[in-house]
Amino acid sequence: MRLASLKSLVGQRRSLADDRGSGAGAVILFALVFLSLAAFVVDGGLSISQRERAADLAEQAARYAAQDIDREALYGNEGEAPINEGNCPARVAAFAAESGMSGADAAASGCVEADADHVEVRIQLTYRPVFTGIFYGGSIHVSGTAVAENKVG
């Protein structure tokens, strides 16, 4: 009997000292941390890219709207070239359609302010995050605003 109790004691000690699988928790934790960081790097880069694109499109749309000058006033005033501010919303909508923006983004974009000397344009873009969209559950809207001034010379 003594041999049987010794074997059972050794078996219990071996099962208590068994460390198989102890690194699995660390591997799972490291994988979750790595995926979280990768998600924020990828989606953060996408967010910056879309904001830069919105600002670039706003600059181009503002220039496009400011190019619509009143030619009669230009020739009559000897050097003054006032912008046709009434055409600004139509010019921005035309630019948005030509640049391939979605219908919702084109509708949300437009002239913020327009007069004979300058136009201010706001462009909205919508994107869906790759990884963090799971947590946010939807699309994100970014916008860019730019001003184009009328300079003769």
CA–CA dist 136, 126 (Å, integer): 14
pLDDT at 9 over 80: no
Could you report the per-residue pLDDT of 10-66, keeping only the tens digit for each? Answer: 666 666 556 666 778 888 999 999 988 888 888 889 889 999 999 999 999 999 999
pLDDT value at residue 75? 76
CA–CA dist 87, 116 (Å, integer): 11
CB 112 within 8 A of CB 121: yes
The model's pTM is 0.74
Domain that holds residue 22: 1-149
Least confident of 39-48, 66-75, 115-124, 129-138: 129-138
CA–CA dist 142, 18 (Å, integer): 54
Token pair, residue 141, equals 């809207």
CA distances from 52 to 102, 125, 144 (A): 17, 10, 8
Could you report the per-residue pLDDT of 85-101, keeping only the tens digit for each? Answer: 899 999 999 999 999 89
Q: How many domains, in total, are found in the chain?
A: 1
How confident is the model over 95-119, as a mean pLDDT? 92
pLDDT value at residue 105? 92
* Cα–Cα nearest to 150, from 84, 83, 92, 85: 83
* Cα–Cα nearest to 35, from 135, 106, 144: 135
Backbone angles phi, psi at 121, to 5 degrees: -120, 140
